[in-house]
Structure 1
Amino acid sequence: MSKLIFVSNRLPVTVKKADDELRYSESIGGLATGLKSYHEQGNSLWAGWAGIAQDELRSDEAEAMERELRNTYNCLPIALSAADIEQYYHGFCNETIWPLFHYFTSHTEYSMETWDAYRRVNERFFEALDPVIGEEDTIWIHDYQLMLLPQLIREKYPDAKIGFFLHIPFPSFEIFRLLIWREEILQGLMGANLIGFHTYDYVRHFVNSVRRILGVEHHLYKMNQDTHSVRVEAFPMGIDYDYFTAARKMDELSPELKSFTENAQTVRNILSIDRLDYTKGIPDRIKAFKRFLTDYPEYRGEVRLNLIVAPSRVEVESYDKLKRQIEVLVSEVNGQFGTANWMPVWFFFRTFSQEDLIAFYRSSDVLLVTPLRDGMNLVAKEYIASRTDLRGMIVLSETAGAASELFEAVIVNANDHGAIASGLKTALDMPEDEKTEKNRAMHRRLERYDVHFWADKFITALGQADSGLQPAKPLLGDSEAAALEEDYRLASNRLLLLDYDGTLVGFKPTPDQAKPDEELRRLLRKLSDDPANTVVIITGREHTGIEKWLGDLNVHLIASHGLWLRKPEGDWVKTIHVDNEWKETIRPLMEKYTDQMPGSLVEEKDYALAWHYRQCESELVELKRTELREALLSITGSMSLGVLEGNKVLEVKDVRMNKGHGVHLLTGENAYDFVLGAGDDHTDEDMFAALPSEAYSIKIGSGSGHTNARSQLKSHQAMRRLLQRLADASVKPKQLLH
């Protein structure tokens, strides 16, 4: 029976040890509430850390804890040591990912030690999950602590349904590119079928980073990988609306909150609730309140800022410094504006129960929420839901994820103290009928899209995830690959025609960055060392460049789409006579569009010109590419030139230069009993068409559309794996002696 597996850094149950006894407490709110109905089903499991270091437990206690969590709470605890927690969580997660993803580049630390810990803990999560994953299970992974886990699962379970949700912002490409391990993080996330973010801004940032760093394009936010397709979508997280709107009795409150709610009527209350963190903009908030009292003196003695800051990581020097900064700013405001009967800022450095926080919500005229950057900020939603009288108002930072949903709030720039001060006045002076109308609209939205709807929508979308776009030709499956391998094994004279870019290596931002790695060189060397093999690299690249990279191997090289041929250890031979006079007409046109399209470039080859636009913004590409293509076609119509559309490239060359010509150069020399050709774009179609009818031809890539190839593989990684199978099947000369 299939099951639903939730995975997060922390379990919805926390274990503590007191008086030599293990105590269990369940979490409330947020993720635990949203997934509770699913988790309580018999066919679900939640994996995560229980909140207690493995070092603190005896072996019998660890076993007892695991039994209790499995049997009573349906949870799978992940064992982490104190060192793991320090290096992985406090280290890489909170010193690298957290500040970078919140745009605090000056706070970001780069440490190989903490990165190794992050990778090690993600692997440990997988090792713990591996024994419990079934073939038809659905797995939903949460947040930035586990961004490598989707791909770790995918590698062993290629058909699994894997979802991932990021609860913090995903930064713009210009920020994300600063991360040393950016490719590893993206590749880890791309193991998921469905990746969710709070807002479409984060979705756009993510797909842009994937395109710019991994070279993977999206079609309507859907990207194709080797074994699956990846869908990226915004799922704004909601709250438990019914819980916050429920009626409450005074006797449910602490004595302190009872006294507060009674005294709150004497002034108009502005509320601020955050945990201690530099991303929350608390010092700027206090400065903005000071600006408010300065600019609008009529409010002195009439308002009070209730500043609640929950302790967080106070043992860390930067956080302790932040706390002291807040205390100094509060003292300055109270010292400058306070009177014997009125203190403008009440500072609470502590945590409050959820019931007490709701009392704060319902007694506050304005909620001041101005994080410098925040994934969502559920406090804003909780406040609106709690104000069932529809008389509250929010001053909300535009850089909080909630701003995209609560657009009826007073939206401000969190760095502009004057704007925040003006926003406070707007919120306090807002007419009751306008305030009621705005609140009613926000209530309708929060009630409809609550945390349960959020979870339902994500799980439904994950259940509908498929394997990608329908290929133009059937994918080369295991049985077909086995048949190909057997034909290869039985053959005595083989020809392997292999395109380079997109077939043997992935695409890079610029052509010169696609240098062959050692794995590829070893693979080509193993294939070409078999005397039965003729290995040919057939490429549109310049002959001098491909020789520099692969000329030392025992392979044939065909460059510039068949113009140049070089046999192993031989010299280059030009196969047809061409000239370059046409370049002076075409080059200025390409350069004109390069000037108009930042990120594009012109590559000049011996007898061709190529306009690359892989680094251009996708919104601009379609129009300009079409314009340039039409202009090139009109110019080349009366010449012996052709315009080829490759993978993110337009190339102009002599029409006699094509990979089909290169195939004929070799197939005419020998009688091969096994022929394989592989390529990824339009320039390889001439090669496919020129192959013998019995040859194996493979198109690399998952897109639909016509191809002359007999079958497809989804990626260059899949092609490498196939070639590795063939290399392993090669019969060595010494084996023939036995």
Structure 2
Amino acid sequence: MTSAQTPDLADLVVVANRLPVDRGDDGEWKRSPGGLVTALEPMMRRADGAWVGWPGKPDLDVEPFEFDGTHLVPITLTEEDVELYYEGFSNDTIWPLYHDVIAAPRYRRQWWDAYVRVNRRFAEAAAAVAADGATVWVQDYQLQLVPMMLRELRPDLTIGYFHHIPFPAYGLYSQLPWRRQVLEGLLGADVIGFQRVADAGNFARAVRRQLRYDTKASGITVPQPDGTTRTALAKAFPISIDAESYAALARDPKVQARAREIREGLGNPRKILLGVDRLDYTKGIRHRLKAFGELLEDGRIEASDVTLVQVASPSRERVEAYAQLRDEIELTVGRINGTYDTTGHTVIRYLHHGYPREEMVALFLAADVMLVTALRDGMNLVAKEYVASRIDNRGALVLSEFAGAADELGSALLINPHDIVGMKDTILRAIDMPGAEQGRRMRALRRRVFEHDVDAWSRSFLAALEQARGRTESAAHA
């Protein structure tokens, strides 16, 4: 049976923790602003595919429905599922473990049991909506068991998995009590994509150490229940953005006017520094504030000359580590502002909420220096969004070498965010960067972002899946 015969079946299925829509208080569905949705939106429109995911609220039971040409298949999660599978195992075990144990991961068997249960629910929903021989693309760390579960349910499928966050070195990964099960879950995919070459290498080493499978180049030989083997491809596919959409907004006279308004509202300081992050301990916000505060304290920048705008959108507020982080950051901002503010000038403008894309592009245009100081980040699309928005070829990007974007954006000013002295020197260099150097660096950055946009990312991953399908079909006919 094909998708043409049965409209509810799709030839391309995306499986992600969240649906690409949010339900407003009025009951209407609206497209979500998240990075993953932005990345996959163009591909899903073209493919007329299906998307399996959670609608975002506990105990919300919704029938499948159509939205902007995509068939959405909601997965119901109970309040307990959200607490154990999402807030627990996904974000209090896997997230800190995979981000270099910046915060201590917690290993609870109850959380793991919920993770297995919910992953199975996602796999079963994807299996039910996929046409014969369909391609299923599983997204991210919340669903690492889905590829193997899907393969067991539907061996006819071609399965891809993309890992949006880092994959840790073996010395850290080996702490996980369920390390073998997670590796086996991921190896259910034909193609396993990572943000960086180093992440793919860490995964392959974990497979060799734990499962003793052969790995050669990007291929991993996976034994099958019938005694045969198949090859899973594990390699880097750095994710990107729809660069042209950001450039188009930056050309909009209303957005440009808003950028001028933002500068005026801040008192037209000589330089505006900008940080845009989810409020997360991996983003290096504390280190950034420490460096900025010390520059003021040392007298290397004048408080009246510079404003730091820090957008910190709310994140996982029911997880204890995040609540503590918010308190610490707000205390630091209050202390610095209390010391250096005047009646006419605020040194740090701290904004604890998210903004629509138009407002973000206006902020990007208003900012002279973009600060991306992540302690560990799979990619960091904000760095690319800033670059894409700078149609004037001006501005300076200060970028952590521990963000995946550093592999591609070599013309940025790269920093080690743990080195506060080095970060201070680099921020000063960015503030004082001559226009000619700004132009030279920004042109190189923009060329990279536009050549390797989200369309190129999705096409390269889907092409790898097509090659995997070809290998499978050749083996079947051999």
Q: Normalising by structure 1, what TM-score?
A: 0.60
Q: Are residues 1:88 and 2:85 paired?
A: yes
Q: Matched residues in 2 for 1:252 and 1:7: separation?
A: 34
Deviation at 1:295, TM superposition (A): 3.8
Mark the CA change 1:279 to 1:37 in structure 2 (over 3 Å): closer, same or farther.
closer
Q: Matched residues in 2 for 1:249 and 1:38: separation?
A: 25
Contact 2:96 2:105 in 1 (8 A): yes
Deviation at 1:276, TM superposition (A): 1.1
Q: Are residues 1:47 and 2:52 paired?
A: yes
Contact 2:50 2:129 in 1 (8 A): no
Q: Which amino acid aligns with 2:186?
A: L
Aligned to 1:122: 119
Aligned to 2:307: 304
Q: Are residues 1:410 and 2:413 paired?
A: yes
Partner SS state of residue 345, structure 2: coil
Deviation at 1:185, TM superposition (A): 0.3
Mark the CA change 1:36 to 1:146 in structure 2 (over 3 Å): closer, same or farther.
same
Structure 2, unmatched stretches of 5+, are 4-10, 225-229
Partner SS state of residue 468, structure 2: coil
Partner SS state of residue 215, structure 2: coil
- For residues 378-405 of structure 1, the C-alpha deviation after alignment (integer angstroms, 9 at most, x for no partner) is 0011011111111111111111111111
Contact 2:159 2:191 in 1 (8 A): yes
Aligned to 1:205: 202
> Greater CA deviation, 66-75 or 278-287?
66-75
Aligned to 2:373: 370
Mark the CA change 1:150 to 1:260 in structure 2 (over 3 Å): closer, same or farther.
same
Q: Matched residues in 1 for 2:462 and 2:472: separation?
A: 21
Higher relative contact order (CA 8 A, sep 6+): 2
Contact 1:291 1:417 in 2 (8 A): no
Aligned to 1:137: 134
Contact 1:224 1:469 in 2 (8 A): no
2:42 to 22, 37, 52: 37
Q: Matched residues in 2 for 1:381 and 1:89: separation?
A: 28
Contact 2:151 2:188 in 1 (8 A): yes
1:99 to 71, 86, 96: 96
Deviation at 1:352, TM superposition (A): 1.6
Q: Which amino acid aligns with 2:15?
A: V
Q: Matched residues in 1 for 2:328 and 2:47: separation?
A: 49
Deviation at 1:335, TM superposition (A): 2.8
Mark the CA change 1:146 to 1:297 in structure 2 (over 3 Å): closer, same or farther.
same
Partner SS state of residue 297, structure 1: coil
Q: Matched residues in 1 for 2:194 and 2:476: separation?
A: 31
Contact 2:64 2:73 in 1 (8 A): no
- For residues 12-51 of structure 1, the C-alpha deviation after alignment (integer angstroms, 9 at most, x for no partner) is 12235x4xx6321112463323333332346521111112
Aligned to 2:240: 238
Identity %: 39
Q: Which amino acid aligns with 1:38?
A: M
Q: Matched residues in 2 for 1:187 and 1:445: separation?
A: 35
Partner SS state of residue 372, structure 1: coil
1:26 to 20, 24, 31: 31
- For residues 240-293 of structure 1, the C-alpha deviation after alignment (integer angstroms, 9 at most, x for no partner) is 1111111454546998x7642334533310001111111112111100111222
1:11 to 19, 40, 57: 19
Deviation at 1:348, TM superposition (A): 1.3
Q: Matched residues in 2 for 1:318 and 1:105: separation?
A: 11
Mark the CA change 1:377 to 1:475 in structure 2 (over 3 Å): closer, same or farther.
closer
> Where do 1:9-408 residues align within 5 Å?
9-16=17-24, 18=25, 22-28=27-33, 30-41=35-46, 44-54=49-59, 56=60, 62=61, 65-69=62-66, 73-104=70-101, 106-227=103-224, 228-246=230-248, 247-249=250-252, 251=254, 259-264=261-266, 265-408=268-411
Deviation at 1:354, TM superposition (A): 1.3
- For residues 136-178 of structure 1, the C-alpha deviation after alignment (integer angstroms, 9 at most, x for no partner) is 1111100001000000111233342110000000011111001
Q: Which amino acid aligns with 1:39?
A: M
Structure 1, unmatched stretches of 5+, are 57-61, 478-738
Mark the CA change 1:132 to 1:346 in structure 2 (over 3 Å): closer, same or farther.
closer
Partner SS state of residue 223, structure 2: coil
Mark the CA change 1:421 to 1:22 in structure 2 (over 3 Å): closer, same or farther.
same
Deviation at 1:332, TM superposition (A): 2.1
Greater Rg by CA: 1
> Greater CA deviation, 159-168 or 139-148?
159-168
Q: Matched residues in 1 for 2:315 and 2:67: separation?
A: 30
CA RMSD of aligned residues (A): 2.5
Mark the CA change 1:187 to 1:263 in structure 2 (over 3 Å): closer, same or farther.
same
Q: Normalising by structure 2, what TM-score?
A: 0.90
Mark the CA change 1:365 to 1:350 in structure 2 (over 3 Å): closer, same or farther.
same
Deviation at 1:53, TM superposition (A): 2.5
Deviation at 1:317, TM superposition (A): 3.2
Q: Across the two proteins, how many residue pairs are aligned to each other?
A: 463
Q: Matched residues in 2 for 1:290 and 1:37: separation?
A: 41
Partner SS state of residue 422, structure 1: helix
Contact 1:291 1:418 in 2 (8 A): no
Q: Matched residues in 1 for 2:257 and 2:107: separation?
A: 44
Contact 1:369 1:397 in 2 (8 A): yes
1:432 to 406, 431, 435: 435
Q: Which amino acid aligns with 2:337?
A: N
Deviation at 1:83, TM superposition (A): 1.3
Q: Matched residues in 2 for 1:365 and 1:106: separation?
A: 32
Mark the CA change 1:262 to 1:250 in structure 2 (over 3 Å): closer, same or farther.
farther
Aligned to 2:425: 422
> Greater CA deviation, 155-164 or 420-429?
155-164
Q: Which amino acid aligns with 1:23?
A: E
Q: Matched residues in 2 for 1:243 and 1:296: separation?
A: 40
Contact 2:275 2:311 in 1 (8 A): yes
Deviation at 1:346, TM superposition (A): 1.4
> Where do 1:519-598 residues align within 5 Å?
none
Mark the CA change 1:109 to 1:231 in structure 2 (over 3 Å): closer, same or farther.
same
